[in-house]
Structure 1
Amino acid sequence: MIANYADHSSNERTFLAWVRTAVAIVGFGLASARLRDTPAPLWSEVLMLIAGGVVVLVAYLRMLHLRKRIDAQDSFDDGAMASDAFLALLVAAVFVLLALFAIHVT
């Protein structure tokens, strides 16, 4: 049995949820823009794909950081600045992705 299995699986499920969110926003944005009469500019599609990749990358880095914290023998206080910074950066990247979605679709 893997040590701290429940914590590790929870960490991976959270990562996969962020990936599904990014894929859904990018996929829905690209598909809905194709339904318009006028084509969307190429730069908005590229920026949207890049923003989706940034969301996945930050989510992956956050998962790795939390994995190290789960495996560490030391106990940590709840005021972990690095974990909070990753989460804030991840939420900001999702908002950028949503803004690009709005620009792309309108």
Structure 2
Amino acid sequence: MSTEENKPTSNPSDHLANERTFLAWIRTSVAIMGFGFVVVKFALFIKQISLVLNTKQTVLPGKGYSTQIGILLVAIGAFMALYSYLRYRNTEKQLLNKAYKPSQLPSLLLTLAIVIVGALLVIYLIPGL
């Protein structure tokens, strides 16, 4: 029996599914970064509109946190891209070794981060708070 026969083999569809999952994570991270960019630029747009209209107050009253929230969204998106690559490589190694173990904690932490940023946006958008 040769060493080639002893090597664990894996199903190509598992590797393709892993790649599709990686690409879905990347698309999500790009969307989150894009949304963060829009949030930051919207705050800048509001400031410019108030200058053009020569008003002392902004057109839409706000608390001024949209820049920080937008930057936080971009950072979460960038972290998600890095995490997705690391998760892809780890899963690939596990598939090659026929020892796949799903991980839930990193996904939970990332979900919680998105929920917290969403809650911050909701609080920011509620008038009078």
TM-score for both structures, normalised by structure 2: 0.56
In structure 2, runs of 5+ residues without a counterpart are 1-11, 47-57
Deviations 1:5-51 (A, max 9, x none): 442133112321243245347747975xx5x9543232x11221122
Aligned-residue identity in percent: 11
Considering fraction of residues, name the structure with more helix: 1
Find 1:88's aligned residue among 108, 118, 124.
108
Q: After the TM superposition, which segments of 4 or more aligned residues of structure 1 sit over 4 Å from their partners? A: 28-31
Aligned length, in residue pairs: 100
Tell me how far apart the structure 1 counterparts of residues 66 and 23 of structure 2 sit (CA, whole Å). Answer: 28
In structure 1, runs of 5+ residues without a counterpart are none
Q: What residue in structure 1 maps to residue 125 of structure 2?
A: 105
Of structures 1 and 2, the larger Rg is shown by 2
Find 1:13's aligned residue among 24, 33, 36.
24
TM-score for both structures, normalised by structure 1: 0.65
Structure with more relative contact order (C-alpha pairs < 8 Å, separation 6 or more): 1
